[in-house]
């Protein structure tokens, strides 16, 4: 009898073990789709006629003081920043139409912007009910004054710090920053690169990002950025990657021939009705998801060495020139 019970239990364990294994393999995709379904349910028009949704990204700087190989928004290949007046105008105009639960100010590195404090305070004063957060690599935080930190606490502005490097100096200054955050009561969250970075784009042998021409459904399914709605001037974009890709292509920072199809993306604007904007935000799978990798892999955060970056930038210029002179067809 015992023998039969033992065999039964072993078989049951095998079956549940197999089932567990299968569900682990599929869990991330399923979880991502569920996340999007939940996200969609959180997009609605409130009693003031404003569109409510979980997160809006506002990019204030294009360049960065780090050159992360894995950078999701191509910042190592870009430079410059958005003038304060333009960002504040974006905030002012969209405040009439949207009421996001969280406003994220980011870049590139947002703390490189000479007016990041004024911009953050403008966002806070505009969306009084929202969480306002600055997403930074933390490199410049040791340089900010105590007064600035106190002001951020007074205005209830939070920080997200992404750890992209693991050098002794950086870790020491980060510990010091966290000590100051705690001293002044600054709200913050740390994102550990080693745990959450994934490859988003493929690179050619010269290290230049190229379009993988993926299956959009596959890319979208496991994508981590599909709920990162982005605003810029009078435009609103489905996700930050589409926004940054379009900007980078327009600036000539990405090889045109590979990514030019992004130019066909139809974002929405302030001139569109709430119904059109809601439909766009709830849209499941933009065709442009083909520009993202369909198989994400966890990666180790790495910096692109300066020499290599110079070489890559030259390659990009050459590719852009070839594209311009050959007049290749847009994808």
Ligand X SMILES: C[S@@+](CC[C@H](N)C(=O)[O-])C[C@H]1O[C@@H](n2cnc3c(N)ncnc32)[C@H](O)[C@@H]1O
Helix ranges restricted to H, the chain = 2-41, 84-95, 116-126, 146-154, 168-184, 193-196, 216-222, 240-251, 256-259, 274-282, 306-326
Size of the site for ligand X (CB under 6 A): 19
Interacting span for ligand SF4 (CB under 6 A) from 114-122, 153-161, 286-294, 309-317: 286-294
Interacting span for ligand X (CB under 6 A) from 44-52, 125-133, 160-168, 319-327: 160-168
The two three-digit tokens of residue 181, written as one number: 């955050």
| Residue 87 Cα to chain centre, angstroms | 18
Q: Which does 197 bind (CB under 5 to 8 A by kind): ligand SF4, ligand X, none?
A: ligand X
The two three-digit tokens of residue 18, written as one number: 């197999």
The two three-digit tokens of residue 150, written as one number: 């106190």
Residue 257 found at the interface with ligand SF4 (CB under 6 A):
no
- Shorter beta-carbon distance to ligand SF4: residue 95 or 308: 308
Binding to ligand SF4 (CB under 6 A): which residues in 65-84?
A: 66-68, 71, 75-76
Q: Which does 191 bind (CB under 5 to 8 A by kind): ligand X, ligand SF4, none?
A: ligand X
Question: How far separated are the first and last CA of the chain, in Å rounded?
Answer: 70
Give the whole-angstrom CA distance, residue 249 versus residue 171.
Answer: 35
Q: Which does 255 bind (CB under 5 to 8 A by kind): ligand SF4, ligand X, none?
A: none
Interacting span for ligand SF4 (CB under 6 A) from 49-57, 125-133, 168-176, 217-225: 217-225
What is the number of helices (H) and of strands (E) in the chain? 11, 12
Provide the β-strand partners of residue 161: 136, 190
Query: Percent helix, strand, coil in the chain (nearest 5)?
Result: 50, 15, 35
Task: Find out whether 60 and 120 touch, Cβ atoms under 8 Å.
Answer: no
Give the whole-angstrom CA distance, residue 322 versus residue 152.
Answer: 48
- Shorter beta-carbon distance to ligand X: residue 194 or 276: 194
Give the whole-angstrom CA distance, residue 163 versus residue 142.
Answer: 14
Binding mask 145-174 for ligand SF4 (x = CB under 6 A): -------------------x----------
3-class state of residue 328 by DSSP = coil
Of the residues 239, 246, 254, 281, which one makes contact with ligand SF4 according to CB under 6 A: 239
Q: Which does 223 bind (CB under 5 to 8 A by kind): ligand SF4, ligand X, none?
A: ligand SF4
Binding to ligand X (CB under 6 A): which residues in 68-87?
A: 70-73
Interacting span for ligand SF4 (CB under 6 A) from 49-57, 204-212, 253-261, 283-291: 283-291
Contacting residues toward ligand X, per CB under 6 A: 64, 70-73, 106-107, 109, 135-137, 160, 162, 164, 191, 196-198, 200
Contacting residues toward ligand SF4, per CB under 6 A: 64, 66-68, 71, 75-76, 107-109, 137, 164, 219-220, 223, 225-226, 239, 241-242, 286, 288-289, 292
């Amino acid at each position: 009898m015992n023998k039969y019970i033992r065999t039964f239990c072993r078989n049951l364990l095998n079956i549940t073990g197999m089932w567990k294994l299968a569900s682990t393999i599929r869990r991330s995709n399923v979880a991502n789709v569920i996340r999007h379904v939940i996200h969609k349910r959180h997009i609605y028009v409130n009693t003031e006629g404003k569109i409510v949704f979980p997160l809006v990204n506002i990019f204030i700087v294009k360049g960065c003081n780090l050159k992360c190989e894995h950078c999701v928004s191509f910042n190592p290949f870009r430079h410059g920043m958005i003038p304060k007046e333009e960002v504040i105008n974006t905030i002012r105009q969209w405040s009439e139409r949207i009421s996001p639960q969280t406003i994220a100010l980011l870049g590139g590195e947002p703390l490189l912007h000479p007016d990041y404090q004024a911009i953050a305070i403008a966002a806070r004063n505009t969306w009084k009910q929202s969480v306002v957060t600055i997403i930074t690599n933390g490199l410049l935080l040791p340089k900010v004054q105590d007064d600035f930190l106190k002001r951020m606490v007074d205005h209830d502005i939070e920080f997200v710090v992404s750890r992209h490097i693991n050098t002794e100096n950086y870790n020491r200054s980060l510990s010091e920053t966290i000590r100051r955050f705690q001293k002044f009561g600054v709200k913050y969250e740390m994102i550990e690169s080693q745990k959450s970075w994934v490859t988003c784009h493929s690179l050619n042998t010269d290290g230049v990002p190229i379009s993988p021409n993926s299956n959009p459904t596959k890319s979208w399914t496991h994508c981590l950025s599909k709920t990162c709605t982005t605003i810029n001037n009078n435009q609103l974009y489905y996700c930050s990657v589409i926004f940054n890709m379009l900007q980078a292509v327009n600036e000539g920072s990405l090889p045109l021939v590979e990514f030019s199809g992004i130019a066909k993306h139809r974002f929405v604007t302030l001139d569109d009705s709430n119904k059109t904007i809601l439909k766009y935000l709830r849209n499941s799978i933009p065709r442009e998801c083909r520009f993202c990798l369909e198989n994400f892999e966890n990666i180790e955060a790495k910096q692109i060495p300066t020499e290599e970056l110079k070489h890559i930038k030259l390659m990009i210029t050459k590719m852009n020139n070839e594209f311009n002179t050959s007049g290749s067809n847009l994808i």
